[in-house]
Structure 1
Amino acid sequence: MKTAVVTAIGSFSADIVIKNLKKMGLKVVGCDIYPAEWIADSSNVSAFYQVPLATKEEQYTEKILSICRKEAADGLIVLTDAEVDVWNRNRKKLKEAGVTLCLSPEETITICRDKRKLYEFLSENGIGNPIPTRMLGCISPESVTYPAVVKPYNGRSSQGLCYLRDQEEMERFLAGCEPDDYVVQPYFKGSIITVDVVRQADTGQSAAVCRKELLRTPNGAGTSVLVFSNPALEALCKETARALGITGCVNFEFIEGEDGTFSMLECNPRFSGGVEFSCMAGYDCVSNHVKCFTGEEIEPLPLVTEMYIARKYEEYVTKVLKKAGTEV
């Protein structure tokens, strides 16, 4: 791979993805739905393009393909779930254009992006210790254990997630939603654990870096974390990644109960918003992700040093105006 198009470069994971791709010697082309002057990393890529929303699927895919052609890109790295879904449906277009889609296989993505399907797959295979997950449209409010959590079955970044304390709140929620679009889970109290997992499907190699998320944004991105080592959890994640047929870097989320039990919430088949934490802890998830699609062996996981890492925001000037309405 010589040139990679990276989408959604205003997202949390974009900065480390761009930095580490450039360290590999790749030309990096960035795009986002917002204009360049709104995006701090727009100045850190070889070229930047504003693209349509992924929900405008035909316009979006044609724009990305045109960028790939113009920039002679041979790899596409997508950073958001909406784009994962779109390109999972449009793999053939990229293949015909000679562009490698750096995502897990189609069936793997289909399972991971549907919380009910993921629960059923893990349960049937007896792995992952998943939190029970049912389609909201298939249950009665009386059959639910409260408190409960409802969320879109294919949701992202905690959007649409609601906590319901009792049957009355459930009935009010049902009156204002389309039940077939949601799943329901029992509420599990505990700490959020995220594990970045990289798997090279050709060789069977894998690596897993665990962190406890101490502070998070409302959309579920960790801002203060504790990176730690837990061989049993790491082995569980590697086994789960193998069973799912994961290729490249994904992230698993768990609830760690007060008794130390890890219960799986979901698998996000893309870089986590906090993938830089894993890179800082000593494992380059980005370069090893690329190796999974270029036929190279990935690096073994070094001894992880447990550490606290906190994220801060920093301001950048992206365009200077001489006077109102006039560019310098």
Structure 2
Amino acid sequence: MPSITVLITSAGVATACNIISALKKQKEKEVKIVAVDTNPLSAGLYLADSRYIVPRSTDPQYIPKILEISKKECVDIIFPLHSSETMVFAKNTDKLKHAGLKLQIANPEAIDICTDKLKFHGFLQSNGFLCPKTYHPMNILDILKNNEVNFPLFIKPKEGSSSKNSFKIENIEQVHFFINYIENCIIQEFIKGTEYTVDLLADENSNLVAAVPRERLEIKDGKAVKSRTVKDNVMISLCSEIIKKLGLTGPANVQMIKSGEKLYVIEINPRFAAGGLPLTTASGVNIPLLLIKMLLGENIDKMPDFQENLYMIRYLTEIFLEPDIEGVYRLSE
């Protein structure tokens, strides 16, 4: 069986460790993993077969460094993992493919809509998808004066991930505080209900290849630490519609809230999920492996089935390192 070499970026995020684990557990493909990050103390570096330190994705030398490493390691496929990198890779897709590298990432327009929560709200509204009412901070005070909205509300950055600087607002005093505390924010009606994430994979024509909904039972830092799989065809069909309308390709995850019989779309991240991916893998749908197959041109006949009502409880584990040379480490024996 010929080996496939996959380069994963941002090895310091939980997603990297989850993807490495998913690829090491499967037995269908022999996969060599090359991991890169800006920080030598990134866990995923030491779970991979090869590791490299790279500049930040905003550095003009980032893509040239990725190309240099890819040539040295005979990389076949790239998995961009962090939200901050998706646009960089989307804009350099042609250059990477010209170098013989394979990747499946959304186009810049779709990424821009997903990243900008105000634009995403506009997309949902214009296409008839149910979503929370959303307000610009410049207008919210006048709207509140006219009693056009009710508390509680929810405030979060216009761009960002991991629920950083996202807060429930109970009164007008908190509105005044948070619109000054959070730069470039949006305010939404607070939807009380059950939170779900759907992990998915879409092909180059924005057709759904795989989808696994999971209930988020407990969340820390925007990531599910306790979760369970659910079979919900309504959620999956809704995701299929949204992905097709957006023209989204590759891995993504859709966040929703179910309130009574209503299903609200909250956000889409055009990348692998950070928290719940191990549950999706354990339920029988190995999205990193499916993406490799898809990029190799293998036919995926039908959406894979998954185990319903499988629970996940996450915990931290440790990696121990020793200094090797200046600024570099090795695994402690």
Deviating more after overlay: 144-153 vs 200-209? 200-209
Q: Normalising by the residue count of structure 2, what TM-score does the alignment of the two structures yield?
A: 0.85
The residue that corresponds to 1:268 in the other structure is 269
Q: 2:49 aligns with which of 38, 46, 51?
A: 46
TM-aligned CA distance change 1:170 to 1:195, over 3 Å: same
Contact map agreement 1:4 1:77 (CA 8 A) in 2: yes
Q: Give the C-alpha shift of residue 297 in structure 1.
A: 2.7
1:183 and 2:179 are equivalent in the alignment: no
Deviation at 1:206, TM superposition (A): 2.8
Equivalent residues in 2 for 1:199-218, closer than 5 Å: 199-202=202-205, 204-217=207-220
Instruction: State whether residues 75 and 99 of structure 1, in contact with CA within 8 Å, keep that contact through their aligned partners in structure 2.
Output: yes
Scaled by the length of structure 1, the TM-score of the pair is: 0.86
- Indicate whether 1:155 and 2:160 are aligned: yes
**What amino acid maps onto 2:63 in structure 1?**
T
The aligned residue for residue 233 of structure 1 is 235
Q: CA RMSD in A?
A: 2.5
2:255 corresponds in structure 1 to 253
1:13-162 matches, within 5 Å, as 13-22=15-24, 23=26, 24-35=29-40, 38-54=41-57, 56-127=58-129, 129-137=130-138, 139-144=139-144, 145=149, 146-162=151-167
Q: Which residue pairs with 2:179 in the alignment?
A: 174
Task: List per-residue Cα deviations over 1:5-35 (Å, max 9, x = no partner).
Answer: 1011222222231244454223211012221
Residues 93, 134 of structure 1: alpha-carbon distance in 2 compared, 3 angstrom cutoff: farther
The one-letter code of the counterpart of 2:93 is R
Q: CA deviation at 1:241?
A: 1.6
Give the match's secondary structure for 2:119. helix
Matches of 1:89 and 1:113, distance apart in 2: 15
Equivalent residues of 1:75, 1:102 under 8 A apart:
no
The answer (yes or no) to whether the contact 2:20–2:33 under 8 Å persists in 1 is yes
Comparing 208-217 and 13-22, the one that deviates more:
13-22
The number of residue pairs the alignment matches comes to 315
Q: Does the residue aligned with 2:124 lie in a helix, a strand or coil?
A: helix
Q: Deviations over 1:13-59 (max 9, x none)?
A: 22231244454223211012221xx33332332210122333x4324
Alignment partners' CA distance in 2, 1:313 and 1:195: 23
- How far apart, CA to CA, are the structure 2 residues paired with 1:207 and 1:86? 25
User: Does the 8 A contact of 1:9 with 1:15 survive in 2?
Assistant: yes
Q: Are the structure 2 counterparts of residues 160 and 53 from structure 1 closer, same or farther at C-alpha, using a change threshold of 3 Å?
A: farther
CA displacement at 1:100 relative to structure 2 = 2.6
| Offset, 1:223 | 0.8
Helix, strand or coil at the partner of 1:13: helix
- Asked whether the 8 Å contact 1:249–1:271 carries over to 2, the reply is yes
Amino acid at match of 2:209: S
Letter in 1 for 2:235: L
Instruction: Please list the CA deviations of residues 231-259 of structure 1 after superposition, one character each: whole Å capped at 9, or x if unmatched.
Output: 111211122122222222210001122x1
Do the aligned partners of residues 132 and 41 (structure 1) sit closer, same or farther apart at CA in structure 2, a change above 3 Å counting? Answer: same
Structure 1 equivalent of residue 279 of structure 2: 277
Letter in 1 for 2:152: P
The one-letter amino acid paired with 2:159 is N
Q: How far off is 1:176 after superposition? A: 4.5
Segment of structure 1 superposing worse, 199-208 or 302-311: 199-208
